Structure 1
């Protein structure tokens, strides 16, 4: 195993990631070659472009590939895993020095399923420390363990959080795919701004066990990949509530079924026309996507929905309460020799190690969570936020307008990373918070770019409509008129369009 502590600047060209087909006599060599290529690429680009996307990786994965080649649908494909998900080879740090020795020696159920389906854990990706739930002034993609993750399309721009390393790693060609986690935007935002596909499944489709938690009602792991088909294949490998028991409660399903034939012809789609934040360059890219959908035969229906401020207010109460409860349970139950066993222990640890942990931002969210103990208020907040996001939000929009799903831009383009002042999100874009709070599926697919900075298109549906949403995204992927960009691994410069653009 190789521990990666990253530095320097530079650039490299994009290398393709060929996949071996089932039954191909050259599959063994292809998968081994792919894994070696990924390892070489990680070492080379991290040494030059300073992406800080990967915290740790297996420098010699050939043996793991050999073991996985004959297993299941993945057949040795190499996957990077966000470092808040337990894998037996590596410590699970959540980016915090307090968990640097959190080497549990166990796989999260989703990782056990990944291996059982022929996947290879190539390494761990950087993340926003504690999944970006420590400070209201944080810089997405920064952790004390991994440093500041950078966007491969513009290394001075932010990769968004908290699955920043997973999104940047896929964009950089460091693995076939990666696994991220989302509570509210942490898969879809980094996928959008790094120009890759990201899918947040319905909460409960993928096991939450042995993942450093924020919210039991909103947390989920999900795939990040270069295509909808790859994301669907990875989801098929990790979905399920436990270690692979087969029975009524087993959620295993082939989410790749029908993707190649999926059509948008005659499909009624709810268009959230006012969710581009008033930012005209994003609005223009969105209009091109709508034109592509019309050309594919889709029936576009305008949908408007007024945000209720109480939804976000109550969501935050829910996250504070569930974080304290969930983190206390996770830390108390870790079999590793770690110095923290509760949220209060982590708060105290950060205070003692303030120079390394809190140089750039503090822990005001931690402190609020430690004081959020009123269960009755929590239960009322959860009921209200879910009602506004789900039954009176997404469900009502779908039913009122008789549409199959909703679309909107996912996020604006990546902003300049600023450790001193923190993140600079452009507001008023997308409806990802509805899907996050309700626990409903949310897919983002690359839609285009603004001055060389990728932006994604969101597909959002009702609970357990995961397969239908993936089919819709795959159909859009085939007919979009703007091809995704290869990353530059350089600092941002104004886009130089050609006649072909």
Structure 2
């Protein structure tokens, strides 16, 4: 909370506001980058290690507020650099950020410092984005041991799924997906290698209910990123809208393409979309939506994945060793990582490290053949469908086609499409668009039209999982009720402690009115009761010196909401 300083009270939920909307508010002069940055830092402090403790964020940029203030001044002098000017961003803790260690969740790399920003980070800064910090990843981008849970690392602990802590976070960019979903940054940048072993951003985005884009391999520069396998590593955005994903790709790609140019609600009119038979959850309704939006769909049978062995472990050792030559302060090779873990087994070997050992002893006899043939056979599965007259392929969440696209180096886009029922009740589920190399603009156009025309509106974790988020300000559901043992509304009282009515009453009124309008009168009334009951209490309770204004204001709030304080 110290980095945030004074905590801004915003008239919107950080869980739902898109980068596009945040930029519009800054352009209109109703929001500043400094205020927004402070709000995100406060939200991280309240939700990351305390409160819901989602463990999404690994490290923070201590200069973020200063950088935001400078960007505000630049905006006033000469206008914004572009759509990411003043927009706070988090990245996987695999991307080098000058001044922050790049650990990839490894205790052996906890002090490993880069010499400079990664290429992606430099591009984001050039676009005017604010680097808030870095997110937790599955240890070493998912190359560690088959027993290691997704989203777990020896240094960062276990990332939790904001919408349901009982469910898997599904991949290495778990922290970035959780941060985007729960409003800890405007957008994040993650990494995808493969669904068998290595980094993943598509699956985590899908289960977190956000948009995830994995570009064609090579489209985004991987310089300064701790690798899994350089021939398959791809780096892309996780966002709350398809438009935001297009803007983020504009900022970090190596091509001269305006990915927002083709975004239109009518982009699917006349398109031919390949679909697959069956599919559970929202997939059948997604197919119906695509048809209603003017596309022609036809069912196809997808070819089998290549039988060539994965090349990830064979590339990992040499790629990691090459990367570590540019860092200082931590292990300098894969073998040193293995040795450090073995020397610190309580932290380092909870889930063993068999994949690291396999990578260290990997032989390269058939590597070139497996790389070339595996990539070609994977590409053929997708190209054979597209060459038969289809513009894009749409498959259900968790389709094997994602892994095939990863091996081919082809782009993938996931877009929220619905929620589960029963044991998966309220949990987000996405649909996935797949294309050939360099088809990002077409995928984004199709995804945008689907997003705009499909009947599902993304809901924030504070709404789908309110019990976890009700004591965390800044989101879509905050009551401040009984947040600590023995408390009566003390989380709410923190908002006014030592501040007085001049700075926080508007927020309280907004929260109470929202509760009332959402047909939650009991919550609206309890907010008022919690406020009044804390008058004169010690500790975090409302000081007695503010008793008179609180009592007066509570009566006014009662008139506004129809609730009368007890």
Which stretches in structure 1 are left out of the alignment for 5+ residues?
5-12, 241-250, 277-282, 412-428, 493-501
Per-residue CA deviations over 1:282-338 (Å, capped at 9, x if unaligned) read: x14110111111111110011102324504xx2x2x11111111011111232x222
User: What CA distance in whole angstroms lies between the structure 1 residues aligned with 2:305 and 2:163?
Assistant: 35
Verify: 1:208 aligned to 2:212, yes or no: no
Q: Which residue number corresponds to residue 438 of structure 1?
A: 408
Q: Which residue number corresponds to residue 416 of structure 1?
A: none
Structure 2 counterparts to residues 402-413 of structure 1, below 5 A: 402-411=389-398
Structure 2 counterparts to residues 170-319 of structure 1, below 5 A: 170-185=180-195, 186-240=200-254, 251-274=255-278, 276=279, 283-308=280-305, 310-311=307-308, 314=309, 316=310, 318-319=311-312
Q: Please say if residues 91 and 189 of structure 2, whose CA atoms lie closer than 8 Å, have aligned partners that are also in contact.
A: yes
Name which one, 1 or 2, has greater alpha-carbon Rg.
2
User: What CA distance in whole angstroms lies between the structure 2 residues aligned with 1:257 and 1:354?
Assistant: 52
1:399 paired residue among 362, 383, 387: 387
Q: Please say if residues 3 and 41 of structure 2, whose CA atoms lie closer than 8 Å, have aligned partners that are also in contact.
A: no
Select the structure with the greater relative contact order (CA < 8 A; seq sep ≥ 6). Answer: 1
Deviation at 1:209, TM superposition (A): 0.8
User: What CA distance in whole angstroms lies between the structure 2 residues aligned with 1:218 and 1:410?
Assistant: 21
User: What CA distance in whole angstroms lies between the structure 2 residues aligned with 1:289 and 1:214?
Assistant: 33
Deviation at 1:409, TM superposition (A): 1.2
Q: Please say if residues 95 and 118 of structure 2, whose CA atoms lie closer than 8 Å, have aligned partners that are also in contact.
A: yes
User: What CA distance in whole angstroms lies between the structure 1 residues aligned with 2:415 and 2:216?
Assistant: 17
For the structure 1 residues 354 and 257, does the alpha-carbon distance in structure 2 shift closer, same or farther, using more than 3 Å as the test? same
Q: Which residue number corresponds to residue 327 of structure 1?
A: 320
Q: Please say if residues 195 and 446 of structure 1, whose CA atoms lie closer than 8 Å, have aligned partners that are also in contact.
A: yes
Verify: 1:347 aligned to 2:334, yes or no: no
Q: Which residue number corresponds to residue 539 of structure 2?
A: none
Query: Relative to total residues, which structure has the larger helix share, 1 or 2?
Result: 2
Q: Please say if residues 26 and 32 of structure 2, whose CA atoms lie closer than 8 Å, have aligned partners that are also in contact.
A: no
Deviation at 1:257, TM superposition (A): 1.4
For the structure 1 residues 307 and 121, does the alpha-carbon distance in structure 2 shift closer, same or farther, using more than 3 Å as the test? same
Per-residue CA deviations over 1:90-126 (Å, capped at 9, x if unaligned) read: 1110000111111224100111011001111011101
For the structure 1 residues 306 and 85, does the alpha-carbon distance in structure 2 shift closer, same or farther, using more than 3 Å as the test? same
Give TM-score, length-normalised by structure 2. 0.74
Q: Secondary structure at the match of 1:223?
A: strand
User: What CA distance in whole angstroms lies between the structure 2 residues aligned with 1:395 and 1:214?
Assistant: 26
Deviation at 1:378, TM superposition (A): 0.3
Per-residue CA deviations over 1:4-33 (Å, capped at 9, x if unaligned) read: 9xxxxxxxx865434123983517x43222
Q: Number of paired residues?
A: 440
For the structure 1 residues 169 and 23, does the alpha-carbon distance in structure 2 shift closer, same or farther, using more than 3 Å as the test? closer
Verify: 1:148 aligned to 2:150, yes or no: no
Q: Which residue number corresponds to residue 66 of structure 2?
A: 63
For the structure 1 residues 103 and 434, does the alpha-carbon distance in structure 2 shift closer, same or farther, using more than 3 Å as the test? same
2:84 paired residue among 74, 80, 89: 74
Deviation at 1:348, TM superposition (A): 1.1
Q: Which residue number corresponds to residue 347 of structure 2?
A: 356
Q: Please say if residues 262 and 441 of structure 2, whose CA atoms lie closer than 8 Å, have aligned partners that are also in contact.
A: no
Q: Which residue number corresponds to residue 382 of structure 1?
A: 371
Deviation at 1:430, TM superposition (A): 4.1
Deviation at 1:410, TM superposition (A): 2.1
Give TM-score, length-normalised by structure 1. 0.84
User: What CA distance in whole angstroms lies between the structure 2 residues aligned with 1:354 and 1:233?
Assistant: 44
Pairwise CA RMSD: 2.2
